[in-house]
Amino acid sequence: NAGVTQTPKFQVLKTGQSMTLQCAQDMNHEYMSWYRQDPGMGLRLIHYSVGAGITDQGEVPNGYNVSRSTTEDFPLRLLSAAPSQTSVYFCASSSPGDTQYFGPGTRLTVL
């Protein structure tokens, strides 16, 4: 099992550009989540999904979109990147009642 994979590992964007951060898991987990990690702020939940076709907002959803068309994939879309979205993004997955398992992260810089 590869576990949770994320691409790309690094990305530099200009303000106003859009992009999609990819996340995939091969553990057949129902639940998937996106977090961002900023210095001094800890990990904060952006969006989450409890199954294919079901998504909801977390603590900091503004500027981000998600969809979940399959169990395996949960992409995060930045519609119009802003410098405030410079961060490290982590995807996680879990089964009901189990812990979350995290991917290796995507480091995003918005200029």
Partner 1 sequence: EDQVTQSPEALRLQEGESSSLNCSYTVSGLRGLFWYRQDPGKGPEFLFTLYSAGEEKEKERLKATLTKKESFLHITAPKPEDSATYLCAVPPSGAGSYQLTFGKGTKLSVIP
Return the closest-CA partner of residue 105 out of 9, 4, 3, 1: 9
Minimal distance, residue 40 CB to partner 1, in Å: 7
DSSP string over 50-70: EETTEEEE-SS-TTEEE--SS
Minimal distance, residue 99 CB to partner 1, in Å: 5
> How many other β-carbons are positioned within 10 Å of the β-carbon of residue 77?
13
User: Binding partner 1 by CB under 8 A: which of 45, 71, 72, 86?
Assistant: 45
Residues 46-105 within binding reach of partner 1 (CB under 8 A): 48-50, 58, 90, 92, 94, 96-105
Checking DSSP bridges between strand 106-110 and strand 10-13, what pairing results, if any? parallel
| Contact map string, positions 5 to 44, toward partner 1, x by CB under 8 A | --------------------------xxx-x----xxxxx
Minimal distance, residue 15 CB to partner 1, in Å: 25
Phi-psi region for residue 3, left (φ > 0), alpha (ψ -120 to 50) or beta?
A: left
For partner 1, the binding residues (CB under 8 A) are 4, 31-33, 35, 40-45, 48-50, 58, 90, 92, 94, 96-105
